[in-house]
A = this chain, B = another copy of it.
C-alpha cells in the first residue's frame, strides 16, 4: 500500500486527504504547525500526528510527501523530503520568490523530476482533453493561444500583501498552462495591470485586472486575461488556434438545463462560484497522478523545473506591468532584469 505524509492540515490538505483515500493510497502521517488541526485531522483519517515535519516525512511506511503548508516553507520541505528519498508533491507556487524557487531547483538538481508542483488545472478534464488534442496535432501547428482566468470574487484584502501580487499568485496558473500547451518556452512578455475591481487592492500596491501578451521560441502568440471578479462565476477557458482548426475548453455548467422565455438573451446555466465545486475533479485526478507517480517511480507530470519557470514568468510579468514595457526572456530562466530602463 502506498503511504503518504501530509504536511499542512488546512482546507486544501483535507481535500487532498479525501482524494488520497479514493485513490487507494494511505495517509500515514500528518504534521501541522497547529497541533490541534493535525490531531482533529488524524482522528478522522487514522494517520499518526507528528511533532515535526521531519518526523512526518521519516515516518515508517511513507513513500511520498504532500506539502500543503504556507508558501514560505515550501522550498525547505521539498528539499527535506527529497533528501529523505521521498517523492514529493507541493502546492503551487514552488516558493515565495523567484530567488527561493531558483535555490530549490539548484539544490534538487536531477531530483527535480520527482517533485510534482500542484498546478491542478492541468488535471481539469476539459483542459486536459484540449491539451492532448493540441499536442496530438489535431489542429496542426498551434498559432495563437488565449487563456482566460477570472475568479468569482477577490480574496480577502488581508491576503493581498502576502500573495505576491496578482501575477505571482493568480496568473501563475496561466503561465503554467501556457508552457504546457506550447511545449516550448516564452521569449518575450508584455503585461498590463490595472485596478478595476476594488481601489483598496490598488492601495496595497497590487492590481486586480491584467492582460499579458507573450511570444514563444518559435513565434507562437499567447494572450492571458485575468480578473479578480466575474459576477457569473469561475471563468477559466482555453482557446487554442492552429493551422487546421481551433479547440476551446469552455466553462462547465451545473446542468444542461435551458430556459426559454420572453426575455431573450443567451447564457449558459450556472457556473461554479466556489473553488471546490469548480475543481473537485481536477484535485482528485491530480492526487491520482501523484499516487501513480509514486507507484511507478516515474517523472512528475509537472516538475519543479516547471514550477520554477512559471515563477520566472510571473516575475517578468510583474516587472513588465510596473515598468510599462516589454521584457525579453531567457528560455533557461537565468537572465535577470536590472531596472526599469530597457
List the interface of chain A (C-beta within 8 A of B).
125-126, 129-130, 133, 138-139, 141, 143-144, 146, 150, 188, 190, 192, 194-197, 209-213, 215, 219-223, 225, 227, 229-233, 235, 241, 243-262, 264-271, 324-326, 342
Contact between A241 and B227, CB atoms less than 8 A apart = yes
Let me know if B247 and A259 touch, CB within 8 A.
yes
Q: Is the CB of A223 within 8 A of B219?
A: no
A244 to chain B: closest residue by CB: B231
Question: Smallest CB–CB gap between A290 and chain B, Å?
Answer: 22
A233 vs B251: C-alpha distance in the bound complex, in angstroms? 22
Copies of this chain per assembly:
4
Decide: A211 and B211 in contact? CB cutoff 8 A.
no
Are A227 and B144 touching (Cβ within 8 A)?
yes
Q: How far is the CA of A271 from the CA of B126 in the complex (A)?
A: 14
Of the candidates B190, B230, B232, B260, which one forms a contact with A267 in the assembled complex, judged by CB atoms under 8 Å apart?
Answer: B260
Given A192-B188, A221-B192, A266-B266, CB of A251 within 8 Å of CB of B259: no
Q: Which residue of B lies closest to A268 (CB)?
A: B266
Contacts of A223 in B (CB 8 A): 146, 211, 213, 223, 225
Distance in angstroms from A166 CB to nearest chain B CB is: 13
Q: Are B324 and A325 closer than 8 Å at their CB atoms?
A: no
